[in-house]
Structure 1
Amino acid sequence: MKITIVGLGEVGRCYAQALANNTTLELSFCEQRIAPAAQRLADELGISIHPKVGAWLGESDCVLSCVVGTQSLEVTRECLAHLKPGALFADFTTAAPERKRTAAHEAVQQQVDYVDVAIMGAIAYLREKTPLLCAGAKADAFVELFLAAGATARALPASQPGDAITLKILRSVFTKGMEALAVEVLLAAERQQLRPALYEVLADIDQAPLPDFLEMLVSTHVVHATRRLHEVEDAERQLALLGIGSSVLDGVRQRFSHSSEGLAVEPITEERPSLSQALDWLARHTPAA
């Protein structure tokens, strides 16, 4: 099988090295701006680097697009102009879901199989073992290829291109929000010499599976948002007294305020609404961007 890697940044080089260990594969490289690290790898593997996409790409069975997200659609189109029917195109970029869906639609027109690949971790630390989430009709075929190269990948069942990167974005909403919150709460705890004690009072959160905990928060939010809004305001005042201007709690207060205003218009009558009921209510009372 002939595999071409377009883009020899950190991601491209990582998987080039992993795939090179499989002697049944023939690799080709394409990079417009060749960094020293990319040239060293190419020299070590004895592979020349094409400066741009061209007719030579027509021999490839599989293409890995490892360019930056802003160039993803342009690069996809350049590749589609030369790929043969039945070729596999794996988009590793961080392009927005709608751009990946557009690229996939255009790939179908050229009879090329498009797979949306989302890198769900830090390549710098885990290298080829970084989890990959893959979406699209041919995701299973791509996963099989990468598992054989020692990578960590799984296909999202019954998925469409754009689904994998959407999940990566949602994961980032959660993890980056938690990261910002951790910065503020640990800083506040440390200033009061209460960090070890804080860990103890948070220990109960570890007792429930994460999905259950998240669903509990949302389903009770629509009942208790007004009361909890006052708690958020108290927390903001407490951090201010410590000299910590909270960026996180300002957004949290706005979220609770929107829900509190919604409850004044449409109260929740159920004592314990289901998650579906809570999400339906929140969809009606969440301001548009």
Structure 2
Amino acid sequence: MESRLALIGFGEAGSTFARAASWGKTTTAFDINDSRQQIMRESGVTPCDSAESALYNADMVLSLVTADSAPLVAKDYAGFLKKNALWCDMNSIAPQTKQSNAQRVNAAGGRYIDVAVMAPVDPTALDVPLLIAGPNAAEAEQNLNALGFKKTRIVGEQIGRASAIKMIRSVMVKGLEALSWECAAAADQADVFEEVMTSLDASEKDWPWAKRVVYNRERMTTHGARRAAEMEESAKTLEGFGIEPVMTRGTVIRQRRAVGQNGNERNDTR
């Protein structure tokens, strides 16, 4: 007997996956935005007017909602689940939030799966890397593969482990995006963009991230007080050009605290 799939949330991720997979009308979907029902039809899935009808008799659920909605749908919709249905929480939320969601889903008779989506779904679609964690991760991976997801990996049985990898990685990925924006905005205002970018290219090291982290930590614990003072001047520079130094202020704090943890500040000019 063919297993039934339900999608909760039909924004960018849900519609991208459905279009790429051609899951067919046995797949049901619900979104609180009624206007997305037409997109559901165009994507080949059956739109439902309620979460209850979408989840009725579903063997597997993909939760693809906004981060703030993820706990709400787990709490409000878990009671509609078929016994032993797999609830794949694919939302970008903290591991602690996923553990709380898991309690609600499991208490209602479902089986919660922590799934981390590790790249933008457009244009990767079913080629997007997925990390899977939970006691039923092996079964979930098999089912996700059957749905067409090609790049899956189990990272453990503990709920929240997949999410922890993603969310901590995001500190670096999204942080670099924000830092790049702040740096470039100030460089534009100062009319030194090309010079700054050329200087960054010249100092870039082709190192694995683990080696970079070791190097950066040593620099901070050894020279953090002086570097914090320099970054305070960088913050003044940005303010002088009308750019709020949000990320730069955070750097001042982190550099200074690194010294307090190590207590070994050298008075040199490196």
TM above 0.5 = yes
Q: Which residue of 1 aligns with 2:203?
A: 202
Structure 2 Cα separation of the partners of residues 74 and 120 of structure 1: 23
Could you tell me how far 1:39 is from its partner in structure 2? 1.3
1:229 aligns with 2:228: yes
Task: Deviation per CA, 1:165-223: give whole Å up to 9, x if none.
Answer: 333222222122212222243455562341453144223x22x2111101221244222
Q: Distance in 2 between matches of 1:128 and 1:184?
A: 33
Q: Distance in 2 between matches of 1:236 and 1:43?
A: 50
- 1:179 equivalent to 2:180? Answer no
Distance of 1:152 and 1:140 partners within structure 2: 14
Task: Give the deviation of 1:242 after TM superposition.
Answer: 6.0
**Letter paired with 1:213:** R
Partner of 1:214: 213
Deviation at 1:245, TM superposition (A): 5.0
TM score, norm. by length of structure 1: 0.75
CA contact (8 A) 2:86 2:112 kept: yes
* Cα distance change, pair 52–187 in 1 and its aligned pair in 2 (3 A): closer
Q: Give, in whole Å, the separation in 1 of the partners of 2:249 and 2:43.
A: 52
Tell me the equivalent position of 2:26.
26
Paired residues of 1:135 and 1:160 also in contact (CA < 8 A): yes
Map Cα deviations across residues 135-192 of structure 1 (whole Å, 9 max, x no partner): 2122233233333443344334224222323332222221222122222434555623
Alignment partner of 2:104 out of 103, 106, 111: 106
Aligned pair partner of 1:161 in 159, 162, 169: 159
Contact 1:9–1:38 (8 Å) recurs in 2: no
Counterpart AA for 1:3: L
What is the percent sequence identity of the aligned residues? Answer: 25
**CA deviation string 1:99-158 (max 9, x = no partner):** 321121233334422112222222233333332222212223323333344334433422
Q: Give the corresponding residue for 2:12.
A: 10
Contact kept, 8 Å, 1:5 with 1:63, in 2: the verdict is yes
Aligned pair count? 260
Residues 1:244 and 1:87: Cα distance change in structure 2 (over 3 Å): closer
Give the whole-Å Cα distance in 2 for the aligned partners of 1:120 and 1:40: 25
Q: Does residue 114 of structure 2 align to residue 116 of structure 1?
A: yes
Once the two structures are TM-superposed, the CA of residue 40 in structure 1 deviates from its matched residue by 3.7
Aligned residue type for 2:144: F
8 Å contact kept, 1:120–1:131 = yes
Q: Match of 1:38? A: 37
Paired position in structure 1 for 2:268: none
